[in-house]
Structure 1
C-alpha cells in the first residue's frame, strides 16, 4: 500500500490539532461558568416587564459576552473572556440588586441607572476592587451604605447614587482615585466628612438636597482639581470658608437654601475660572465684595464670573 504524501500527513495533523483546540476553547472555563451563574442569579432576582433580559441564554456558546448589556475583556491566554462591564440603564428593571454580582471580580463598570430597583446596596459590593464606575442613580434604593463601601473600592473614579432614598451618614473615607461624587437627592444626614481632601482627584461633588448639617469643611480648599461644588438644599451652617478660594479650578459653586451666615469672603470672587456663584436663601450678611459684584474692575478678580445669585 503506497504511503500517503507528506503534505497530506501534515494537513491531517493540523486538522486534528485545530479540532481539538476548538473543542477545548468551546468549553467555558470555571471562571466563565461562575460569571454566567452570577448573572443568571441577578436576572432571577428582578422583574423584567420589557423582556430586556430574555436573551440571556446560558447555553449560548458566546455566553455571557453576547448578552445585552454585557461587555467582556479580550480573550486571555486560556481563551476565556471575563465580564468587565454591565450596563442596563432605563429598562424598568424592578426588585433588589442581587449580591451575586460581586462574583464578577473583573467588573470595571456597573450602570443600572433609571430603573425601579429597591432594597439596599448589597454588602458584597465592598469587594468590587476593580470597579471604576458605579451608576445607580434614579432608582428606589434605600438604607445606609454598607460597611467598607465605597472606601474599599480603591479604583473607583465615578460614583452616582443620586435620586434614591439612601440614609445615614456619608462615609468618612472616600476612595483615593474618586473624581466624580454625586449623592444628591437622598436622605443622608450628619456632617460632610472633614477629610474629604483625602480624595485629591475630586472634580465634582454634588451633595445637594439631603439633610446634612454642620459646617463646610475648610479642607475642601485642598482640592485643587475641583470644578463643581453643589451643596444646595441642606441644613449647613457656619460661615463660607475662605479656603475654598484655594480651589483654583472651580467653575461652579452652588450653596443655595442652607443656613450659612456671616460675610462672603472677597477671595471667593478671585477664583480665576469661576463662572457661577449661587448663595441665595441663606443668612449671609455684610456687603457684597467688589471682587464679586464688579469682577471687571479688579485685576485680581475672576474675569469668568457671569452668574451671581
Structure 2
C-alpha cells in the first residue's frame, strides 16, 4: 500500500494476521502513534512507515519480552516522532543481533524473492527486490528524536545500515558502535553530537559509507585504511575536527617543550617555601647590619647615596655650596 493517499490510523486488527511478514504503508498520510501492538507479530520482517504523519514517542510500556523477533527492516523516517531513541528495541531486535533468527528452511519463500521495497541506503533511494536473511536496516532519520544515542545500539552486531540523521540527538558517539562489526553505512549527520569520533569506529572494516557532517564534533579523525576512503563531505560542518582527509591539521605537542616544562616544574616545586624564608631572613639581617655600621660611623651621607643614588649626592653638594656662600656674605 505504499505511495497512495491513505489517511486515518492504522487498524489494530492487523495484529490478528499472525503470518504477516511485511507491512509497507509508506508515502501516505497516516496519522497516529507508532503501532506498538505489532510487536507480537511473530513473522514480521519488514515494517515501513516512512513519509507519513505519525508522531509521539517510543516510550510506551510493553509486556512483550521479545518485540519484533524477526524484524529486519524498520523505516519510520520522515515523520514527527519525538523523545528518546528506542533503547528497548536496540536491546531486543533478535534478528539484528543474530542472523540465525532469520534463517528459514523454506527455500521457496515467494515473499522474500518478489518484494518491491524502496529504501534509502547509503544516502540514495534504492529499490529492493529481494530480501536476504542477512539484510538488516534501521532508518529513524528526519524526525524529532532527542536525547543521546544509547550504548545499547552496539548490541546490533548484525545490523548493516543505520540512519539517525536530521534529528536533534546530542551527546557523544558511543564507543559501543565498534561492536557493530557488519555495519556498512552509518549516517549521524545534522544532529547536535559533540566530543570525538571514537577510535573504535576505525575497526568497522565493512563500513563503506560514513556521514557525521553538521554536528559539533571535535578532535582528530581516526586514522585507518577504512576511514581514509571517506571524503571531506563526511565531516563538513564540524569546525573542531582535524586530520586527514580535512585540510585542517591537528596541533602537535612538542615533546621537547613538554620535557622542558616538566623540568621547570620540578625546579619550581623543589624551590619551596623554606628557601624563600631563608632568603628573606638573610637579606633582612644583612640590611640591618649595613645600616647600623653606616650610622655608627657617622656617615649618613653614604646611607643616603646608597638608598637614593646620585641625585641625593648632588643635592647635598648644592646645599653645602649655598651654606658657604652665605657665610662669605
> Taking structure 1 as reference, are residues 151 and 253 closer, same or farther at Cα in structure 2, changes over 3 Å only?
farther
Q: What residue ranges of structure 2 are gaps of 5+ in the alignment? A: 97-135, 252-329
> Taking structure 1 as reference, are residues 286 and 258 closer, same or farther at Cα in structure 2, changes over 3 Å only?
closer
How many corresponding residue pairs? 204
Match of 1:173 among 152, 155, 158: 152
Structure 1 residue aligned with 2:91: 151
The CA deviation at 1:143 is 0.4
Aligned equivalents of 1:251, 1:83: Cα separation in 2: 42
Structure 2 residue aligned with 1:242: 223
Deviates further, 179-188 or 102-111: 102-111
The CA deviation at 1:234 is 0.5
Larger Rg: 2
The CA deviation at 1:147 is 3.6
The CA deviation at 1:253 is 5.7
Q: Secondary structure at the match of 1:83?
A: coil
- Indicate whether 1:255 and 2:255 are aligned: no
Aligned equivalents of 2:12, 2:142: Cα separation in 1: 32
Q: Output the aligned Cα RMSD.
A: 3.2
Aligned equivalents of 1:57, 1:216: Cα separation in 2: 42
> Taking structure 1 as reference, are residues 127 and 88 closer, same or farther at Cα in structure 2, changes over 3 Å only?
same
Structure 2 residue aligned with 1:225: 206
The CA deviation at 1:123 is 5.0
Give yes or no for contact 1:90–1:114 (8 Å, CA) kept in 2.
yes
- TM norm structure 1: 0.58
> Taking structure 1 as reference, are residues 248 and 178 closer, same or farther at Cα in structure 2, changes over 3 Å only?
farther
Q: What residue ranges of structure 1 are gaps of 5+ in the alignment? A: 1-47, 66-71, 73-80, 269-278, 288-309
> Taking structure 1 as reference, are residues 248 and 215 closer, same or farther at Cα in structure 2, changes over 3 Å only?
closer
Give yes or no for contact 1:123–1:147 (8 Å, CA) kept in 2.
no
Q: Secondary structure at the match of 2:89?
A: coil
